[in-house]
Every structure is written in C-alpha cells, then in structure tokens.
C-alpha cells in the first residue's frame, strides 16, 4: 500500500470489471503494509461512502475516525471477493483484511477471508530521519482499530477459513477459489 497503489488498484479493477469477471481474489500474503491513506483509498473503492474504515487515537487526544469517500469516482466494486492472508500480512494489509471481515459481517459486501492468522500489528508508527548521522528512529504513536473498533495488536486477524500451505500445492489459493465459487453462486 504505497503512494501509487490506489491508481494501480483502480486500473486493475476497472479492467477486470470490463472483462466481465464474476469475482476477485485479493492475495495479501506477505504484504508488510504501507501507508494508511493508500489502504483507505483502496477500501473506499470497495464500500459505500461514509462507512468507517478505521480509527486511531493518540494518547491524550480524541479518537480520529477515517471514513470511506468516493475519491471522485462514480461507482463502487460490487463483485464478491476473497482475501487470502497469512502470518506475514501486517499493518495496512491487516487493516484491509479486518475491514473486509467487518463489512462482511455488516452485510455491506460479499467476501470470505482464507489463510492463516495475520501478523498482529495494530499500531501506527512514525519515523524521523536525522541527516547529520543519517540515522532513523521509529516509534509507536497510536493504536489503530478496524471498523468494529476492536484492536488486533499482537493477536492478528483470524480468517473465516483457516488453511495452511501443505507441500508444494498452494492450498490457500485453491481454497480461495473454492470459496469464491460459493460466493458467485
């Protein structure tokens, strides 16, 4: 979830919709995260306007809630989808996964999460660069929460369908495809 992710995401989704796909698999395995604004823009493209994406709170300050916005777009993705996650899905990847879980439970989208428990990084961090010695210090500034408001730091997000990779076969991708077929029918 970097600075150009939303543009690439929108372009890919638009091409898939034009091609007539019936559903999408988002593979977030090994996704280390990225920028909060980037994941929020992507999620905004998947859900109705005005829906909580995440919230965070700095110590001693009021809670800040980020909600979906139309990003200047006229439509939202209305396809069912499956998210694949693993123990290396972290930070912004977990925000995405947890938000999808919460929206599905609220019946805003049709989705299933497949894989293994995510990393468990429910905190925001800030880095400061010191040019004199070219060092960087990174520290935690806040906890962030998915739409349901329950932080998953050090616990991770548990998938709907737990599937370990066994052998050389990508059992998680196979399970994701099976789950997507169920959502399509």
> Which tens digit of pLDDT belongs to each residue from 49-102?
899 999 998 888 999 999 998 755 656 788 999 999 999 999 999 999 999 999
Calculate mean pLDDT across residues 150-165.
Answer: 96
Average pLDDT of the residues in 136-151: 93
Scan for tokens 């809630």, then name that residue: 65
Q: What is the pLDDT of residue 71?
A: 59
Task: Tell me, rounded to whole angstroms, the distance of Cα 6 from its chain centroid.
Answer: 12
CB neighbour list of residue 151: distance below 8 Å, 6 or more residues apart: 122, 143, 144, 145
Q: Could you report the per-residue pLDDT of 24-56, keeping only the tens digit for each?
A: 999 999 999 999 999 999 999 998 889 999 999
Residue 78 neighbours by CB distance under 10 Å: 9
Share of the chain above pLDDT 70, in %: 97
Closest CA to 83 of 168, 2, 169, 157: 157
Q: Give the model's pLDDT for residue 78.
A: 85
Has this prediction a pTM greater than 0.75?
A: yes
* pLDDT of res. 148: 94
Residue 118 has pLDDT above 70, yes or no: yes
pLDDT of residue 111: 96
Mean pLDDT of the chain: 93
């Amino acid at each position: 979830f970097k600075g150009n992710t939303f543009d690439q995401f929108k372009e890919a989704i638009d091409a898939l919709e034009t091609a007539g796909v019936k559903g999408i698999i988002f593979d977030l395995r090994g996704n280390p995260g990225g920028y909060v604004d980037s994941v929020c823009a992507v999620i905004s493209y998947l859900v109705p306007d005005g829906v909580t994406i995440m919230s965070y709170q700095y110590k001693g300050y009021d809670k800040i809630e980020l909600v979906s916005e139309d990003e200047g777009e006229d439509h939202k993705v209305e396809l069912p989808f499956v998210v694949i996650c693993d123990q290396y899905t972290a930070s912004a990847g977990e925000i995405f996964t947890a938000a999808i879980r919460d929206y599905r439970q609220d019946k805003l989208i049709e989705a299933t999460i497949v894989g293994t428990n995510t990393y468990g990084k429910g905190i925001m961090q800030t880095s400061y660069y010191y040019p004199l010695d070219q060092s960087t210090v990174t520290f935690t500034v806040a906890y962030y929460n998915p739409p349901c408001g329950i932080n998953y730091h050090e616990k991770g997000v548990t998938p709907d369908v737990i599937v370990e990779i066994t052998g050389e076969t990508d059992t998680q991708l196979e399970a994701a495809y099976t789950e997507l077929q169920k959502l399509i029918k």
